[in-house]
Amino acid sequence: MSKNKKEQKRIEEKILAYFKSKPKAIVNYKQIAAALEIKDTKGRNLVIKTLGLLHKQNKIGQQNKGQYHYLKSSSKTFETILTILPTGKGKIILEGHEEEILIPKKNLNKALHGDRVEVRLERSKNSLFGDVERIIERSQREYVGILEKQKEFGFVICKSSTSYTDFFIDKKEIQNYTNGDKVVVVFNGWKPFNDSPDGKIIKSLGVPGTSETEIHAILHEYGLPYTFPEEVEKAAENLPTRIEDSEIKKRKDCRQKLTFTIDPITAKDFDDALSFEQLGEDLFEVGIHIADVSHYVTPNSILDQEAYDRATSVYLVDRVVPMLPETLSNGLCSLRPNEDKLTFSALFQLNAKGEIIKEWFGRTAIHSDYRFSYEEVQYVLDQNTTSIDASVSLTAKTYTITETVKQAIDTLNQIARKLRKKRMSNGAISFDRQEVAFQLNKDQKPDAVFFKSAKDSNKLIEEFMLLANKRVATLFKENKRAFVYRVHDEPDTQKLFSLKKIVSGFGYSFNPKGKNVHKEINTLLTNIQGKSEQNLIDTLALRSMSKAEYSTHNIGHYGLAFDFYTHFTSPIRRYPDVLVHRLLESYIHNQDGQSESALEEACMHSSQREQVATRAERDSIKFMQMVFMEDKVGQHFDGIISGVTDRGLYVEIIENKCEGMIRTIDLSDDYYVYDIDHHAYVGQRTQKVYQLGDPIKIKVKKVNVVKRFLDFVPVD
């Protein structure tokens, strides 16, 4: 595009933005030129030419000769929330439209991520795109960026994937801040013809690249409050800490049952416990006891509103952002050993096959006898012993459990295996992915990267939590009450065909059609176990799945192969579980529940906050990976090509799962052409191919901790 055409395009966009911001204005070219601050003859002539062109294209109207006004389209408008993508385009989701609708950057009309906007749909060839007509309400969100100070002003340069613009900062606003610092800025208006909005700095986070600065940047970018308002803390502290006998009398007293928790070593909020009792030769009672958060967090209280707003706890690499104040999450509600606690329980009488003979739901009181870690329970199962070695013990000392406790663990594990086997035979999909974890030193920097994978001790807890969640949801199967379901739709067919195309390149067969897709996926996931391409194919298979979410409209849970499913077992860290406890209590006592509209609004909010938490957690992992790789520039690693784009190759290092990019400019031994259909780059002279999934040796070229990016170069 020539310089003149670029300038005309720029003027055209600004004129359209002016009319959108002043839809009732009737103006001539002089008024437009003045608003655009164009004073020279050449510029004014360009304004005249552009106005005529826009009128000819029916983008603006003309009342009298030379008098122009906004021409409103006859197409319908929609009110929605705007999402900004990393490309700078906008995205909206409208009811009645299966696909997401994109909004070109030029059509954003100064709208920002999270704004409530009025959007008009336009059609181009065979696709729809959006055009922001007006901004109804700004999101009031915070942005994070690097402050660049000039003599008379400053800019905050934002690198967030949801920000397509930087912020102009007035001279008086930058005096108390240091050039180059990472700062938090809020929107402070956007003048009609300015390229950037005005911003107001509200906080300095410190020097970019340090752990404390970057983790706090993630918290601000995603709007995650890491402290509680004083009045919320006070409300939690004022809750009674003593459990009255009168309260226990209202409940089923389970304090004499053998009860224990099994959690990660670092856990502080224990929201579930298991009890076990042998009732006969082939009959057992298993109790799934969940912290009774709804006893303390009552509807419409200040604690309830705060929990609703947060909707979930967020688990970053080096800290937890809890849904509830610590007084509740780690204190009153946490099922710590050797303390009486209030719980909401599901009691199942099960036979050795894992079949339910009888079930009961209701409020209880428990007294946990033991706090176990997953490692301790796994040791008992692996070694078939009552002696827990110091190497895995929570106390770092060898200790002995009773034969009764060991027998309980063994029996629970046997039942859990049968439950899992039945679930898998019904079509559940098994994503046993390895999770990246870090060993942090006293400075909260990663000394090592390791992988967590689910073992029998993890699966034991998982199966009984799944059982409780499924059976609670099934209670609401036949009645007409509104309920909060956890739903998971069938996978996207187009994505499954893309998956087939990729895995066939590795020699795996996969049929994405028919009724047995779940079996095909499970066979694929089994066949890749232990292979170098496992993590890549695991990731691609997971991306072909729909996202699980909360809804009052039940469609079942595809991934778990359950017709009815909910979240009941983690109310300390998930708000929907609190709602489910309340709904279950009202159902048990035949009381009114909540309206479907109120529950659906809570479902949508909780689903959205869950997605935000997931993105923040991923960003914190990515940051820690960059810190871990910072001192490894020049070192060689074995990797696998995990992505192919027009900008280059993404490579994941096999030993630590850190991902970086080989840019096309660094493929320097030949001229490489991007083959989009085969996810590859092909050398024109040598015919050398770099293809998705190929093993590759790389050298670390550059690490940018602030941008969370690794640059690699290939090595022979």
Average pLDDT over residues 313-328: 96
Q: Is the pLDDT of residue 479 over 90?
A: no
Higher pLDDT, 113 or 532: 113
d(CA 71, CA 94): 24
Dihedral, 672, 674, 679, 681 alpha carbons, nearest 10: 0
For residues 119 and 127, the answer to whether their CB atoms sit within 8 Å is no
Q: Is the pLDDT of residue 532 over 90?
A: no
Percent of the chain clearing pLDDT 70 (strictly above): 98
Q: How far is CA 232 from CA 222, 243, 297, 317, in A?
A: 21, 22, 11, 26
- 468 backbone dihedrals φ, ψ, rounded to 5°: -65, -45
The predicted pLDDT at position 82 comes to 92
Amino acid letter for position 109: N
Number of helical (H) and strand (E) elements in the chain, helices listed first? 18, 37
For residues 122 and 129, the answer to whether their CB atoms sit within 8 Å is yes
CATH 3.50.50.60, domain 142-208, yes or no:
no
Q: Is the pLDDT of residue 191 over 80?
A: yes
Confidence of residue 419 (pLDDT cuts 50, 70, 90): very high
Cα 507 from chain centroid (whole Å):
32
Q: Is the pLDDT of residue 125 over 80?
A: no
Cβ burial, residue 370 (10 Å; 0-12/13-18/19+): middle
The predicted pLDDT at position 77 comes to 81
The predicted pLDDT at position 260 comes to 98
User: What secondary structure letter does DSSP report for 569?
Assistant: S
Confidence of residue 18 (pLDDT cuts 50, 70, 90): confident
Average pLDDT over residues 671-676: 94
Long-range CB pairs of 421-427, under 8 A, 24+ apart, other chains included: 422/354, 423/463, 423/466, 423/560, 423/561, 424/522, 426/561, 427/518, 427/519, 427/561
Least confident range from 127-141, 244-258, 356-370, 482-496: namely 127-141
Q: Is the pLDDT of residue 161 over 90?
A: no
Confidence of residue 65 (pLDDT cuts 50, 70, 90): confident
Rounded to the nearest 5 degrees, what angle is found at the Cα of 95, between the Cα atoms of 133 and 540? 105
The predicted pLDDT at position 636 comes to 98
The predicted pLDDT at position 76 comes to 74
Q: Is the pLDDT of residue 4 over 80?
A: no
The predicted pLDDT at position 331 comes to 95
Nearest to 242 by CA among 120, 342, 321: 342
d(CA 350, CA 480): 29
Q: Is the pLDDT of residue 280 over 60?
A: yes
The predicted pLDDT at position 74 comes to 55
Q: Is the pLDDT of residue 177 over 60?
A: yes
Q: Helix-strand-coil percent breakdown of the chain, rounded to 5?
A: 35, 30, 40
Q: Is the pLDDT of residue 20 over 90?
A: no
Percent of the chain clearing pLDDT 90 (strictly above): 66
Q: Is the pLDDT of residue 601 over 70?
A: yes
356-367 and 252-253 strand pairing: parallel
252-253 and 258-263 strand pairing: unpaired
Least confident range from 1-15, 79-93, 114-128: namely 1-15
Average pLDDT over residues 187-212: 91
CA atoms within 13 A on the CB side of 176: 7
First-last CA distance in the chain: 41
The hierarchical CATH code for the domain 633-714 is 2.40.50.140
CB neighbour list of residue 458: distance below 8 Å, 6 or more residues apart: 374
Least confident range from 33-42, 148-157, 235-244, 391-400: namely 33-42
Q: Which residues of 100-255 form beta strands (DSSP E)?
A: 101-103, 116-124, 127-137, 142-149, 153-158, 167-170, 182-187, 199-206, 252-253
Confidence of residue 93 (pLDDT cuts 50, 70, 90): confident
Average pLDDT over residues 405-410: 98
For residues 187 and 111, the answer to whether their CB atoms sit within 8 Å is no
Q: Is the pLDDT of residue 304 over 60?
A: yes
List pLDDT tens digits, range 539-568.
888 888 889 999 999 999 999 999 999 999
Confidence of residue 95 (pLDDT cuts 50, 70, 90): low
The predicted pLDDT at position 645 comes to 92
pLDDT averaged over the chain?
A: 91
Nearest to 491 by CA among 420, 457, 540: 540
For residues 674 and 662, the answer to whether their CB atoms sit within 8 Å is no
Q: Is the pLDDT of residue 42 over 90?
A: no
CA atoms within 13 A on the CB side of 409: 28
Task: Name residue 698's beta-bridge partners.
Answer: 637, 714
d(CA 648, CA 645): 5
- Tally of CB atoms within 10 A around 94: 16
The predicted pLDDT at position 141 comes to 84
d(CA 580, CA 100): 30
For residues 69 and 148, the answer to whether their CB atoms sit within 8 Å is no
Confidence of residue 24 (pLDDT cuts 50, 70, 90): confident
User: What secondary structure letter does DSSP report for 333?
Assistant: S
The predicted pLDDT at position 711 comes to 96
Q: Is the pLDDT of residue 502 over 80?
A: yes
Model confidence, pTM: 0.86
Amino acid letter for position 443: D
Q: Is the pLDDT of residue 235 over 60?
A: yes
Amino acid letter for position 178: T
Confidence of residue 327 (pLDDT cuts 50, 70, 90): very high
The predicted pLDDT at position 654 comes to 92
Average pLDDT over residues 70-90: 81
Q: Options 1.10.10.10, 3.30.420.10, 2.40.160.20, 1.20.1440.130; which CATH number does 3-70 get?
A: 1.10.10.10
Higher pLDDT, 21 or 596: 596
CATH topology of domain 77-137: OB fold (Dihydrolipoamide Acetyltransferase, E2P) (2.40.50)
Domains 77-137 and 142-208 share a fold: yes
Confidence of residue 533 (pLDDT cuts 50, 70, 90): confident
Q: Is the pLDDT of residue 688 over 60?
A: yes
Domain spans, the chain:
3-70, 77-137, 142-208, 232-488+549-620, 493-544, 633-714
The predicted pLDDT at position 72 comes to 67
Q: Is the pLDDT of residue 75 over 70?
A: no
For residues 337 and 371, the answer to whether their CB atoms sit within 8 Å is yes
Least confident range from 208-222, 466-480, 506-520: namely 506-520
CB neighbour list of residue 386: distance below 8 Å, 6 or more residues apart: 380, 400, 401, 402, 403, 405, 406
d(CA 497, CA 499): 5
User: What secondary structure letter does DSSP report for 178?
Assistant: -
Average pLDDT over residues 187-192: 88
The predicted pLDDT at position 73 comes to 62
The predicted pLDDT at position 62 comes to 79
Least confident range from 93-97, 332-336, 370-374: namely 93-97
Confidence of residue 685 (pLDDT cuts 50, 70, 90): very high
Largest CA distance in the chain: 98
Q: Is the pLDDT of residue 396 over 90?
A: yes
Q: For 636-660, what is the HEC assignment?
A: EEEEEEEEEECCEEEEEECCCCCEE
